[in-house]
Amino acid sequence: MKKRIIPYLALGGTYGADDVEAATKVIAAAAEPGGSFFPLPEETEFQNKFAEHEGAEKAVTVNSAGTALDLCMMTLEIKEGDEVITTPLTFICSATTAMARGAKIVFADIDQKTLNLDPDSVESRITERTRAIIPVHFAGLACDCDRFDEIAEKYGVSIIYDAAHAVCTKFNGKPVGGRGKASCYSFQSNKNMTTLGEGGAVTTCDPDFAETVRQMKTFGYIYGKPVRVVRIGF
């Protein structure tokens, strides 16, 4: 019997000729004076299209979902003494991004059927120090966004979704990228939409939150004439 060899394909897809041409064009533009400092048109176009695709008003591209979570914690001004609730069944940065700001991580139980955070368990762990909740759409399966919205409104906490696996994920027929305060996506090489390297994005329906994230990722700069530094950035 003749052996059939199935060629290895990188998860998420492969580069085609059009991708190589587009990447080369962007690299060349970035090499021009000031080209790597200001957002290129291709980046702006992608951000707009990705936000629309994921059901959000704004998207800010970054180099990883970990950085996206870092920026969200910084934008929320998470600090020492605060508590952030998340799941123990996740990649480490769902917790360490808040820990890096000095916050105490509180783990809640997961639902045994979905492997997502159990909203009732989360609610039982909320204290006067709770500032944020980081639910993970585990393996791309949407969390109970409606229930988390109720918790956020009831207790005045922010919901930052770890959506690293959740490109195209929907809850009740609608994309999850506009839920909560923000969602953090990954385009790393083993995700369902990938750069075949690294990459990520923050999506939100709060324009002010998006603008602060954008400023934080570029050292606190506001682009204009003249360029100004308005905050301590990342």
Span 149-197, pLDDT tens digits: 999 999 999 999 999 999 999 999 999 999 999 999 999 988 888 887 8
In a domain, 35, yes or no: no
Structure tokens at 32: 């021009």
The predicted pLDDT at position 228 comes to 73
Question: Are the C-beta atoms of residues 58 and 183 closer than 8 Å to each other?
Answer: no
> Where does the pLDDT of residue 1 fall: very low under 50, low under 70, confident under 90, or very high at 90 and above?
low
Q: Indicate whether this model's pTM tops 0.85.
A: yes
Structure tokens at 153: 């409104």
pLDDT in tens, 118-154: 999 999 999 999 999 999 999 999 999 999 999 999 9
In a domain, 30, yes or no: no
In a domain, 27, yes or no: no
Question: Are the C-beta atoms of residues 132 and 157 closer than 8 Å to each other?
Answer: yes
Asked if omega into 88 is within 30° of 0 (cis), the reply is: no
- Is 224's pLDDT higher than 70? no
Helix, strand, coil percent content, the chain, rounded in steps of 5: 35, 20, 45
Active site residues: 191
The predicted pLDDT at position 31 comes to 72
pLDDT in tens, 31-88: 776 555 667 888 999 999 999 999 999 999 999 999 999 999 999 999 999 999 999 9
In a domain, 71, yes or no: yes
Work out how many domains the chain is built from and give that number: 1
The predicted pLDDT at position 113 comes to 95
Query: Measuring CA to CA, which residue among 38, 34, 33, 75 is closest to residue 202?
Result: 75
In a domain, 198, yes or no: yes
Beta strands in the chain (DSSP E): 58-62, 83-86, 104-107, 130-134, 158-162, 170-171, 174-175, 182-186, 200-204, 221-222, 228-229
Rounded to whole angstroms, the Cα distance separating 60 from 203 reads 7
Which structural domain, as residue segments, surrounds residue 89? 40-229
Cα 205 off chain centre by: 13
Q: What is the mean pLDDT of residues 206-224?
A: 87
C-alpha angle with apex 164: 200 to 212, nearest 5 degrees?
Answer: 50
CATH number at residue 73: 3.40.640.10
In a domain, 109, yes or no: yes
In a domain, 21, yes or no: no
Question: Are the C-beta atoms of residues 11 and 191 closer than 8 Å to each other?
Answer: yes
Query: Measuring CA to CA, which residue among 27, 60, 10, 7 is closest to residue 199?
Result: 60
Compute and round to an integer the Cα radius of gyration of the chain: 19
Other CB atoms within 10 Å distance of the CB of residue 26: 15
In a domain, 4, yes or no: no
Cα 180 off chain centre by: 12
Question: Are the C-beta atoms of residues 32 and 41 closer than 8 Å to each other?
Answer: no
- Is 116's pLDDT higher than 60? yes
